């Protein structure tokens, strides 16, 4: 799990468009295929985003990863684990707990495991 959290944090560091909090997310099958779906947070919104616009136009990394997996025809998330992580300015893994809105989405989708830094 540490391996995936580091990979998620690195993805966020590279691809997040957020200046302060650069979150990355990975959705990976719990067993078998190691295909990964990546996501990063960004300063925009899109229909279906669980985070309401009054909280700021933000797409969370985990939702971005869910969108990407859905586009690649993943429909049953119960066989997948979700990893969300970010590096702080000090280069260490820092809190990346999903927000309450993503948390609701994550529960509805029924991920097998959810891990965050
Ligand atoms: Zn969120």
Distance 60 CA to ligand 1 centre (A): 5
In the block, tokens 């990964």 appear at 36
Q: How far is the CA of 32 from the centre of ligand 1 (A)?
A: 28
Per-residue confidence (pLDDT) for residue 1, from 0 to 100: 87
Task: For 2-28, write each residue's pLDDT tens digit.
Answer: 999 999 999 999 999 888 899 999 999
Residue 63 C-alpha to ligand 1 middle, in angstroms?
Answer: 7
d(C-alpha 24, C-alpha 31), whole Å:
21
Which domains are present in the chain? Answer: 2-116 (3.40.140.10)
**pLDDT, position 69:** 98
pLDDT value at position 18? 87
8: helix, coil or strand? helix
pLDDT at 76: 97
Quick one: average pLDDT of 101-109? Answer: 97
Using the mean position of ligand 1's atoms as its centre, give its distance from the Cα of residue 116 in Å.
Answer: 12
Q: What is the pTM of this model?
A: 0.95
CA pair distance 11, 14, nearest whole angstrom: 5
CA of 45 to the centre of ligand 1 (A): 11
62 Cα to the center of ligand 1, angstroms: 7
Per-residue pLDDT of 31-89, as tens digits, reads 998 899 999 999 999 989 999 999 989 999 999 999 999 999 999 999 999 999 999 99
């Amino acid at each position: 799990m540490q391996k995936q959290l580091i990979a998620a944090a690195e993805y966020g560091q590279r691809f997040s468009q957020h200046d302060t909090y650069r979150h990355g997310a990975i959705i990976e099958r719990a067993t078998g295929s190691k295909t990964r779906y990546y996501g990063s947070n960004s300063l925009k919104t899109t229909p279906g985003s669980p985070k309401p616009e009054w909280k700021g136009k933000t797409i969370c990394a985990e939702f971005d990863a869910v969108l990407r997996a859905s586009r690649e025809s993943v429909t049953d998330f119960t066989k997948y684990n979700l990893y969300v992580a970010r590096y702080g300015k000090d280069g260490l893994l820092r809190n990346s707990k999903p927000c309450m809105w993503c948390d609701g989405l994550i529960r509805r989708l029924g991920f097998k495991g959810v891990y965050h830094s």
